[in-house]
């Protein structure tokens, strides 16, 4: 049920975005109990001013390599689970693609279950 949007700077290898998607998916399954095979992702590369990430907001030093990850998912997870997800993604991206943890920006958007249609014009979770 999560919809993941990953925005990253252009110029990386094709595997780079795929690996980021893999890390996010694995973290969703492991920390937020998302079902296996529930993978819907949009991965977009941005050139120049198409991706704006403040380099120092909240005292966190970010580089031009920063990525933005937005996950829309059903509401109801605890703060502790969300924190575990953030850490799993940042740690995983650092390990798998060498991205600095400070360059991982994550936003969760929680919605009610009836706000999804997975096809056929039906609200499967309503």
Q: Catalytic residues, which ones?
A: 2
Quote the CA–CA distance of 43 and 53 in Å, as a whole number.
Answer: 17
DSSP single-letter state for residue 119: B
Nearest to 15 by CA among 104, 112, 88, 98: 98
Quote the CA–CA distance of 42 and 54 in Å, as a whole number.
Answer: 22
How many other C-beta atoms lie within 10 A of the C-beta of residue 41?
18
């Amino acid at each position: 049920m999560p919809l993941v949007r990953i925005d990253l700077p252009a110029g990386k290898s094709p595997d780079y975005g795929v690996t980021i998607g893999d890390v996010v998916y694995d973290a969703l399954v492991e920390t937020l109990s998302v079902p296996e095979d529930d993978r819907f992702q949009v991965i977009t590369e941005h050139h120049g001013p198409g991706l704006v990430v403040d380099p120092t907001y909240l005292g966190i030093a970010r580089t031009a390599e920063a990525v933005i990850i937005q996950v829309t998912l059903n509401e109801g997870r605890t703060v502790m689970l969300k924190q575990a997800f953030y850490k799993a993604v940042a740690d995983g991206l650092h390990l798998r693609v060498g991205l600095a943890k400070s360059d991982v920006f994550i936003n969760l958007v929680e919605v009610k279950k009836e706000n999804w249609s997975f096809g056929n014009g039906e609200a499967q979770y309503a």
